[in-house]
Amino acid sequence: MAEATISATGVGKRFLLHHQRATSLKERLLLHRRSTSEEFWALRDVDLRIGGGQTVGLIGPNGSGKSTLLKVLSGILAPTTGRVAVRGRVASLLELGAGFNGELTGRENVYLNAAILGLSRGETRRYFDDIVAFAELEPLIDNQVKHYSSGQYVRLGFAVAVHVSPDILLVDEVLAVGDESFQRKCLTKIAEFQERGCTILFVTHSLDLVPKVCSRAVVLDHGRVLHDGDPVEATERLRSLLGTAADQSGGAILGPDRPRFARARLFDPTTGIHKGHYSIGEPMVVDFDVAGPHGAPPVSVRLAVTGPADVPLWVMDSDPLVFGPDGIATVRFTVKELPPVKGIFAFAAALRDPGTKVTYDARRFADAFLAVGDSAKGIVEVAWTAEQVETPGEEERDRAAGDRRRSEL
């Protein structure tokens, strides 16, 4: 078994911040003595080895060097110190449609882009139909790309990037662009790559996603590796770094006198630890803290678990909650067994008056959890059988056909 890896040894990246940048020979001559520049180390002594089908989250505050590291690892930027060694094909989802030429048709661009990403023409031909189908662009594939909408453009770029069968996938904040269905598609694709044993390194700012998707996380701060290991621990360290450890609420606050969701927690009932990555059939528990003003009327919580295209898979309603003296009520939804449906699910939670059904607060928790199973079996597990049956003889079939003809008349 061959292992595709990216290893970085003592990698440092220095940028020169020119106060007056000489971009022409004239300026170069004139600025020869006066040109001042400041050194800035975007990365310092980074030792990292990723491979072995791990999914590694790369997190850190803004400007901590995440994107620079990704670019150095993918060979776009050369490290100032240290070295980077790559084994295997690297595809990155930071370049969606970067090589496209507007004058060419979608078909021509697919071939061109795939060639740039290292595919032979034969390989591209093999993947071509899948790429077009994935991008949902069959009717437009022979149109010039300049006539595509930006969504179509990104879809085609994404389709090419994920179909080059990479060994290592680099993902930079793709989850921040595109609409929800596109994001979900990305996550589904990532789950698919994970099952195929592809090594994934992805940069993200959505810390909730990290423990859900990653088996390992790296925290960067000021260009140095602060933590490399357990993803839950990584997000905690980053949260404490960002000073947001306690505050996970956010979202809509609908005035001080109305009940609202204060906090949601998703965990494994057997261990009590936060968990976003489930196998089907496992139990799952969600707690919601609801804050209400003193003397507020009782409220009930309706929780819908939604799958692709925001279709509610099932809906759970709580009994009316009574607020305690601290103005907080907690409701716990327990799912004894996750149904045999795989994918990425979201929660849509609503806080309602049990009598009038007036909604006080509604929140959507996108990409709340991931349920995995054997993807070769499709997304739904259904009880089914397959058996060999006796086929009717030829005469019998003819007679049946004759009967049908008669009945049609």
Partner 1 sequence: MAQTQSAVDARAAAQTRVRFELLVELVRKDLKVKYKNSALGFVWSLATPLLYLIVFTVVFTFLFRGVDNFPVLFMAGFLVWTFFNLSTLTATGAVVGNANLVRKVRFPRIVLPLSSVGFGGVHFLLQLAVLLAVLAVFYRDAFGPQLVLVLPALAVAVTFTVSMSLLASALNVRYRDVEHLLEVALLAWFWATPIVYQATLVRDRLAGKGLSWLFQLYMANPITAVVVAMQRAIYNHPVVKGQQVLPADGYGFYLTWLGVAAVISVVLLGVGLWTFRRLQADFAEEL
**Is 197 among the residues that bind partner 1 (CB under 8 A)?**
yes
Residues 6+ positions from 149 with CB-CB distance below 8 Å: none
**Is 120 among the residues that bind partner 1 (CB under 8 A)?**
yes
Which of the stretches 97-105, 184-192, 220-228, 340-348 binds partner 1 when contact is defined by CB under 8 A?
Answer: 97-105
**Is 19 among the residues that bind partner 1 (CB under 8 A)?**
no
Cα distance between residue 382 and residue 384, in whole Å: 6
- Which residue in 103, 233, 247, 398 binds partner 1 (CB under 8 A)? 103
Cα distance between residue 306 and residue 299, in whole Å: 22
Q: Is 201 in contact with 169 (CB distance < 8 Å)? A: yes
255 strand-pairing partners: none
**Is 95 among the residues that bind partner 1 (CB under 8 A)?**
yes
**Is 41 among the residues that bind partner 1 (CB under 8 A)?**
no
**Is 98 among the residues that bind partner 1 (CB under 8 A)?**
yes
CA distances from 286 to 252, 270, 377, 379 (A): 20, 13, 28, 23
Cα distance between residue 112 and residue 98, in whole Å: 11
**Is 83 among the residues that bind partner 1 (CB under 8 A)?**
no
**Is 118 among the residues that bind partner 1 (CB under 8 A)?**
yes
CB nearer to partner 1: pick between 37 and 181: 37
**Is 10 among the residues that bind partner 1 (CB under 8 A)?**
no
* SS3 sequence of 121-141: HHHHHHHHHHHHHHHCCHHHC
Nearest Cα to 351, choosing from 274, 313, 284, 296? 296
- Which residue in 49, 125, 147, 196 binds partner 1 (CB under 8 A)? 196
What is the contact mask toward partner 1 in residues 208 to 247, using x (rule: CB under 8 A)?
A: ----------------------------------------
Query: E strands, 113-255, where?
Result: 168-172, 199-203, 216-221, 224-229
Shortest separation between residue 200's beta carbon and partner 1, angstroms: 13
**Is 78 among the residues that bind partner 1 (CB under 8 A)?**
yes
Q: Between β-strands 216-221 and 224-229, what pairing exists: parallel, antiparallel or unpaired? A: antiparallel
The continuous run of DSSP H or E covering 36 comes out as none
Shortest separation between residue 91's beta carbon and partner 1, angstroms: 9
Q: What is the DSSP letter of 288?
A: E
- Which residue in 11, 56, 119, 190 binds partner 1 (CB under 8 A)? 119
Cα distance between residue 105 and residue 146, in whole Å: 8
- Which residue in 7, 45, 115, 236 binds partner 1 (CB under 8 A)? 115
Nearest Cα to 153, choosing from 91, 106, 93? 106
Shortest separation between residue 136's beta carbon and partner 1, angstroms: 24
**Is 32 among the residues that bind partner 1 (CB under 8 A)?**
no
Half-sphere exposure of 129 (CA within 13 A, CB side): 1
- Which residue in 92, 152, 204, 318 binds partner 1 (CB under 8 A)? 92
Which of the stretches 82-90, 207-215, 242-250, 326-334 binds partner 1 when contact is defined by CB under 8 A?
Answer: 82-90
Which of the stretches 31-39, 173-181, 190-198, 200-208 binds partner 1 when contact is defined by CB under 8 A?
Answer: 190-198
CB nearer to partner 1: pick between 87 and 364: 87
**Is 254 among the residues that bind partner 1 (CB under 8 A)?**
no
- Which residue in 99, 269, 297, 339 binds partner 1 (CB under 8 A)? 99
**Is 271 among the residues that bind partner 1 (CB under 8 A)?**
no
**Is 63 among the residues that bind partner 1 (CB under 8 A)?**
no
Query: Phi then psi for 333, rounded to 5 degrees?
Result: -100, 130
CB nearer to partner 1: pick between 88 and 297: 88
Cα distance between residue 340 and residue 281, in whole Å: 7
Nearest Cα to 313, choosing from 396, 393, 369? 369
Give the pair of three-digit tokens for residue 382: 């259904």
**Is 176 among the residues that bind partner 1 (CB under 8 A)?**
no
Shortest separation between residue 379's beta carbon and partner 1, angstroms: 23
Cα distance between residue 347 and residue 314, in whole Å: 10
> What DSSP assignment string belongs to 343-373?
EEEEEEEEEE-TTT--EEEEEEEEEEEEEE-
- Which residue in 43, 46, 90, 131 binds partner 1 (CB under 8 A)? 90
Residues within the interface to partner 1 (CB under 8 A): 1-4, 15, 23-26, 28, 53, 71, 74-78, 86-90, 92, 94-95, 98-99, 101, 103-104, 108, 111-112, 115-121, 144, 167, 196-198
